[in-house]
Chains A and B, each alone.
Chain A
C-alpha cells in the first residue's frame, strides 16, 4: 500500500496525458485505416488504402519539399538578422531599452492578423508596396499571383514576425556570456571581426542551436501566413503540408485521409528535427574533448 501511494499522485497527470495525447494519437492511427469522410462517417476498416494513396499524392510531397526550403530559408534569415540586431543591442546603442521593446513588437502580434496586414501590403491592385513602386516609376509586381514573388512575400512576412524571437534568445545569450574571454581577446589585440568569429560565435553556439531548433519546430507548421496571404496559390506554389492537411481534413472533410497525412507529417517532422538536432549537437561539440 505504502509503495503504491506515491504513484497515486501521478494519476491526474497520467489521466491528462492519456486523454489529450495518447488517446487522440491512437485514435488517429485507427482512423487512418478507415474511410471516414463527408459521406461515410465512422470507423470501418479499409486496410492501408489511405497510406497507399498518400504515397502517390504528388501534391502532398510537393508541399513537403516546399516546407523544407521555406522553413530552412526563413529560419536562416531570421537567425542572421536576429544575431545582427542582438549584437547591435548588446554593444550598446542610445535608447537601447526602447529599441529592445520595439524590436519585439512583430512577435507579439497575432500571426493571422500579421498575415492580413502583409496581404494588404502585397495586394497587387491597391496594396502599399505596388503603390510605392509605381511612385518610383517601376512596374507593379504580382506579389501574390506569381510563384516566385508569392514565395518571397511569404518569406518576408515570416522573417518579419519571427526575427524578434531570435533576437530575444540571442540577446539573452550574449548578455550571459562571461567577460573574461573578451578581455583576453582585447589584450591580444584581436579585431572586432576576429573576436566575433573566434570568441562570440563559438560561445553562442549552444544558444544558437537551441534558438534554431525552436524556430525550426515552429516553422515546420507554417500555416497562418500561407493560408491568409495566398491560400497556397498561385496554383499550389506556396502550399505547405499544414495548409494541405487543413484543406483535406477540415474543408473537404476527408477525415481519414487527412489523418494519414497529418500522422506522416508528424513522424517526418520528429525524424528530421531529431537528425538536425543530433548534427547540430555534434558540430557544436568542442573538438578534442
Chain B
C-alpha cells in the first residue's frame, strides 16, 4: 500500500518537477528579440560606447528582473513616456526603453523635456484631458499638483519582491499621497555638506585657521561657522589644490530658476524648524506664511553674506554649475544634492579622495513661532536637514496601457538596473533602497575611498533617523510658491532688497497664491506635509 502511494506520488511529482525544471532553465522570450535565462549577466555595453566602462552584474530574482520581463509579450503595443532631458533621468529612461522593447516586443516612445517643460507638458495633458502620456517623470515634490491624475502603484511592485519593496521607510512615505503610493520612486535625494579634507585634515591649514580666528578648525556645525570657514579660506591655496584652479570659500546654487530654492531651504531650516513647535514649518495653523519669520530671515542673511566667498560667477550658479565648480576643485565647501559628491569621486576628478560628507550645518538658535522668541537648542545646535525631493515617475490614471506602463517602470527600476544606474554619475539615480547603504558596493565596485564612503553613508543614515526634518511644500501650486520664494531670495542676493524686505514680499505673494489656489485645498494638502514634518507617519 505504502509503495503504491509512493509510486503514485512519484508518477505525478516527477513529470511536474521535470516540466518545472524545463520552464526554469528554458531561456524566456515571449514577444521580444532578446532571450534571457535566470541570473544571467546584465551588461549595458551593447547599448553604446558610453557604457563601455560600466560594470556588469547578475540579474536579480525580483518580479521585474530581466528574465521575468522577457516572459511578457507586448508585441503591437505602444507606451508613451515623458521624461527629463538627457542625461539626468533622460538617459536611463531611453536606455531601459530600448531594453524593454527588446525583451517584450512592445514599443516605447520616449519624449524628453527640460525640467520646466516636464511640469508644463504634464499639466497641459491633464488639464486639457488629452491624455498624451502613459508614463511621466517628475520631481516628487509636485505630487500635490498631480496625484489625482496618477494611478495607484500596485502592491505587487511595493511589496514582496517588487522593485520598490526595499525602498527606505522614509521614501516609501514620501511617494504616498493620503496613504496610497502614487509615485514610482526611482531615486532619493538628501542634501548634505561636502568639504575638502586637504584643508580640514591638514595641519598647515588648521594652523592657518587658528592664526586667523584663534579657534580650532573642525567640520562646521553651524551655518555661522560655515560662513566663517568660507571667509577665512577664500583665496587660500590648499595642499592638494589642482593646478591653475583658484580656491574660494563656498560653491552654492544661487540662480533663480536653477533650483536655488533647495539651497535656501538648507540654510533656513535649522533657524526656522523648531523641534518643539508642531503643526507647520511653512505655514502656521491659520495658513499664515512663515517664510518671512526671523528664522527664515536669519538663514537668508547668512546666504547673502556667503556670496562674498563664492568663486567668480558663483552668484549665478544653477545646480549644474555648482556640480561643475565644486567638482573641479573651486571651493572648500558645498552642499545640496549628491551630484557634486559623485563628480568629486569620479576617477578623473582632480579632487578624488579629497572630499568627505557631513550632515548639513545647524544653527545656534531656532525661532519659535508660537512664543515669537528665539530658543536655544538642546545641545547648543539645532539640526534640521532638508529631505529634498527625488526623481520619481508615475503611470497616468487615464492611460489605456497601465499594465504595460507599470511593467516598464518596474523593469526600469529592477534590482540589476538599479545597481548599474547607481554606478553611472549622470543617470540621476541615488541610493534609495536599504541595500544601497553598504559601503562594499561603493568601495569595491565604484572604487571610491572608504573613509569618504563611510562619511557619506553615515550622513544619509543619520537623516533617516533624524526627527527634526524639513520636507518640500508638497501642495497644489508648489511651483508658484517656490518661484515666488526664489524671486525674493534672488533680490536679496543681488542686494536689491534687505532679507527682511525681500521675504516680506514673498509672504505677500504666498498669500496671493494660497488665495488663488484655494485656502482649503492648500491647507488640506499641507496636512500631509505636517505629518512628515512632525513624524506622525
Which of B35-43, B397-405, B491-499 forms contacts with chain A? B491-499
A39 adjacent to B494 (CB under 8 Å): no
B493 adjacent to A235 (CB under 8 Å): yes
Give A96 Cβ to nearest chain B Cβ, in Å: 41
Q: Which residue of A lies closest to B316 (CB)?
A: A145
A237 to B282, CA, bound (A): 28
B312 adjacent to A124 (CB under 8 Å): yes
Interface presence of A140 (CB below 8 A): yes
Interface presence of B292 (CB below 8 A): no
A140 to B316, CA, bound (A): 15
Within residues 230 to 263 of chain A, which ones have a CB less than 8 A from any CB in chain B? 230-237, 247, 250-254
Give A37 Cβ to nearest chain B Cβ, in Å: 6
Interface presence of A218 (CB below 8 A): no
Interface presence of A109 (CB below 8 A): no
Q: A38-B145, A38-B479 are in contact. Are A233 and B255 (CB under 8 A)?
A: yes
Contact partners of B325 in chain A: CB under 8 A: 125
Contact partners of B492 in chain A: CB under 8 A: 235
A41 to B145, CA, bound (A): 13
Interface presence of B116 (CB below 8 A): yes
B505-534 interface bits toward A, Cβ cutoff 8 Å, 1 = contact, 0 = none = 000000010001110010000000000000
Q: A250-B120, A253-B120 are in contact. Are A237 and B517 (CB under 8 A)?
A: no
B496 adjacent to A235 (CB under 8 Å): yes
A236 adjacent to B487 (CB under 8 Å): yes
Contact partners of B483 in chain A: CB under 8 A: 247, 251-252
Q: Which residue of B lies closest to A37 (CB)?
A: B516
Q: Which residue of A lies closest to B487 (CB)?
A: A236
Contact partners of A234 in chain B: CB under 8 A: 315-316, 490, 493-494, 496
A136-151 interface bits toward B, Cβ cutoff 8 Å, 1 = contact, 0 = none = 0000101011110000
Q: A231-B255, A233-B494 are in contact. Are A130 and B517 (CB under 8 A)?
A: no
Give A34 Cβ to nearest chain B Cβ, in Å: 12
Within residues 124 to 176 of chain A, which ones have a CB less than 8 A from any CB in chain B? 124-127, 130, 140, 142, 144-147
Q: A231-B257, A247-B483 are in contact. Are A40 and B518 (CB under 8 A)?
A: yes
Main secondary structure of the interface of A (DSSP, over half): loop
Within residues 136 to 194 of chain B, which ones have a CB less than 8 A from any CB in chain A? 145
Closest 7 CB pairs between A and B?
A124-B313, A235-B494, A234-B494, A145-B315, A125-B313, A235-B491, A235-B496
Give B148 Cβ to nearest chain A Cβ, in Å: 11
Q: Which residue of A lies closest to B318 (CB)?
A: A231
Interface presence of B123 (CB below 8 A): yes
Q: Which residue of B lies closest to A38 (CB)?
A: B477
Taking Cβ atoms with an 8 Å cutoff, the residues of A that contact B are 35, 37-41, 53, 59, 123-127, 130, 140, 142, 144-147, 230-237, 247, 250-254
A125 adjacent to B312 (CB under 8 Å): yes
B496 adjacent to A38 (CB under 8 Å): no
20 A-B residue contacts at CB 8 Å?
A38-B145, A38-B477, A39-B145, A39-B517, A39-B518, A125-B312, A125-B314, A125-B321, A142-B313, A144-B313, A145-B315, A147-B495, A147-B496, A233-B255, A234-B316, A235-B492, A236-B487, A237-B494, A237-B496, A251-B120
Give B437 Cβ to nearest chain A Cβ, in Å: 35
A64 to B306, CA, bound (A): 32
A145 to B521, CA, bound (A): 38
B127 adjacent to A144 (CB under 8 Å): no
A144 to B317, CA, bound (A): 11
Contact partners of A37 in chain B: CB under 8 A: 477, 516-517
Contact partners of B314 in chain A: CB under 8 A: 125
Contact partners of B312 in chain A: CB under 8 A: 124-125, 130, 140, 142
A254 to B491, CA, bound (A): 22
Q: A39-B518, A233-B256, A235-B496 are in contact. Are A252 and B313 (CB under 8 A)?
A: no
Name which of B321, B476, B480 has the most chain A CB atoms within 10 A of its CB. Answer: B480
Interface presence of B311 (CB below 8 A): yes
B490 adjacent to A254 (CB under 8 Å): no
B313 adjacent to A235 (CB under 8 Å): no
B490 adjacent to A235 (CB under 8 Å): yes
A77 to B490, CA, bound (A): 30
Contact partners of A235 in chain B: CB under 8 A: 256, 490-497
Q: Which residue of A lies closest to B145 (CB)?
A: A38
A53 adjacent to B479 (CB under 8 Å): no
Within residues 71 to 126 of chain B, which ones have a CB less than 8 A from any CB in chain A? 116, 120, 123
A33 to B477, CA, bound (A): 20
Contact partners of A140 in chain B: CB under 8 A: 312
Contact partners of B123 in chain A: CB under 8 A: 38, 253
B116 adjacent to A39 (CB under 8 Å): no
B496 adjacent to A144 (CB under 8 Å): no
Give A51 Cβ to nearest chain B Cβ, in Å: 14
Name which of B313, B480, B483 has the most chain A CB atoms within 10 A of its CB. Answer: B313
A254 adjacent to B480 (CB under 8 Å): yes
A231 adjacent to B256 (CB under 8 Å): yes
A154 to B477, CA, bound (A): 32
Contact partners of A126 in chain B: CB under 8 A: 313
Contact partners of B496 in chain A: CB under 8 A: 147, 234-237
Q: Which residue of A lies closest to B116 (CB)?
A: A251
Give B65 Cβ to nearest chain A Cβ, in Å: 39
Q: Which residue of B lies closest to A127 (CB)?
A: B313
Q: A236-B496, A254-B480, A254-B516 are in contact. Are A124 and B490 (CB under 8 A)?
A: no
Contact partners of B476 in chain A: CB under 8 A: 38-39
B313 in complex: contacting residue of A145, A250, A251, CB < 8 Å: A145
Contact partners of B517 in chain A: CB under 8 A: 37-40
Give B151 Cβ to nearest chain A Cβ, in Å: 21
A147 adjacent to B494 (CB under 8 Å): yes
